[in-house]
Structure 1
C-alpha cells in the first residue's frame, strides 16, 4: 500500500511539473485550458505532445530548417525538402517564419481529429500554395513533384517520368467542374465529399494518438 501511495504521489508530482513546464516555456502559449478548448485533444494528450515538441525544439518554436530536418527522418529514401516546405507553410498560419507549439497542435487537431470538412479545408490550403483561394495546375504540379520526390524513385521502380503530371491531369478532370482551369474550394469540397475513397482516407488517422 505504501509503495502504491508513493507511485501515485510521483505521478501527481510529474503531472504538476508537466503543466507548470507547459505554461512557463513554449513562447507563452495561451494556456493549456485554452488549447483544450481550441483543439480536440485532452489535457494529457497536450502534455504528451508538448513534451515531444520540446524535445525536438527546446526553444519552443520550429523554424523551417529544423522542420525539414525532422520531416526527412520519416522518408529517408527520398528528398522531402520541397514537400516539407509546403507543409511548413501550411502549419505556419501566422506567416511568422516559425511554428510554435500552438500552431502545431491547432493544425494537428484538424488533421487527426477534425471533421471531414475541416480536414478538406486544411488540405485545400496546403495545395493552394499562394493562398489566393484556388488551386492552379502549376501549384498542383509542384505539389505532385514534391510528393513523388519524397517517396523516392526506388519506391516506384516502374513509375513513368510523366506520373506526377498524369496525376495532376486526373485531379483537374475530376475537380475542375466548370473547366475554367482552376479548382476552387467549393469544387474541391463538392467533389471530395462525393468520392468514397477520398472520404474513407479522411478517417485514416482519426484517434491515432
Structure 2
C-alpha cells in the first residue's frame, strides 16, 4: 500500500528501502510509530525532490522556513532562527532528515519536559545556560504590538521584573533551566512566556491530521 499517492509506488518503495535501517534507529528517538516516521520522512523526501532536481542533497533551511510559515504559522524570521538553533546547534543552511524528524516529533508529540527544554534553549540567546534580564527584554520586545517607544520600554521592564519574581527561584537575577522547569510545572501557561517557540495547537492539529495515526485536537 502506497503511503503517498503523489509519488510513484516504485520510487516510494526504493526510498523506504534505502532508509529502512535509519528508520529503525530513529523510531527509538521519536514519538512516532514506524509508519508515521516513514510518512514524516517521505515529506522530507518530497521537499528534496521538488528542489529543482537537487536530489541526494539536504533540504535547505529556506524550504523548511516555508513549512514554518505555511504549516506552523511561525513567520518571524528571528523566532524561526532561534528555534532552529535550539534544534540543531551546528551552523548550517540545511536541515538533515534526523533534525526534521526530531523537530516534528517535538512539535506534534513532545512531552512537557521536552518542550520546556526546547523553549529554554530558544530563549537562551547567549547559549550560557541562563536567561538574563537583558535577554528577556530583547525577547519580550518582539511580543509587543508597536506603540510609543518610551511606553513600550516601560511595559517591557515591568513585565521582565514580574517574570523574574515569578521564575527566578534562587534570586540570582537570571533564570536557569531548573528555575524555568519548576515555574512551568507549577504554571504551564508560562511555557512560552518570552515569545513563540512552538507552533500553536490549531496548527499542530491541522498538520498532524495529514499523517499521524493518533491525533489529539487539544
Give TM-score scaled by structure 2 length: 0.66
Q: Which runs of 5+ in 1 are unaligned?
A: 1-7
Q: Which runs of 5+ in 2 are unaligned?
A: 192-197, 209-218
The whole-number CA distance in structure 2 between the counterparts of 1:45 and 1:183 is: 37
In the alignment, is residue 21 of structure 1 matched against residue 12 of structure 2?
A: no
Deviations 1:108-156 (Å, cap 9, x if unpaired)? 32333232222211111111122211111222233333455xxx75xx9
- Residue 193 of structure 1 and its aligned partner are, at CA, apart by 0.8
Q: Aligned match of 2:96 in 100, 114, 119?
A: 100
Q: Which residue of 1 aligns with 2:216?
A: none
Question: Does the Cα contact within 8 Å between 2:68 and 2:75 map onto a contact in 1?
Answer: no
Q: Which residue of 2 aligns with 1:5?
A: none
Equivalent residues in 2 for 1:18-57 (5 A)?
18=12, 20-22=14-16, 24=18, 31-57=22-48
| SS of the residue 1:84 aligns to | helix
Q: Which residue of 2 aligns with 1:172?
A: 164
Q: Which residue of 1 aligns with 2:68?
A: 71
Question: Does the Cα contact within 8 Å between 1:124 and 1:185 map onto a contact in 2?
Answer: yes
Question: Does the Cα contact within 8 Å between 1:92 and 1:103 map onto a contact in 2?
Answer: yes
CA gap 1:187/1:30 in 2 versus in 1, 3 angstroms: farther
Deviations 1:5-26 (Å, cap 9, x if unpaired)? xxx6x679977753531454xx
- Residue 41 of structure 1 and its aligned partner are, at CA, apart by 0.6
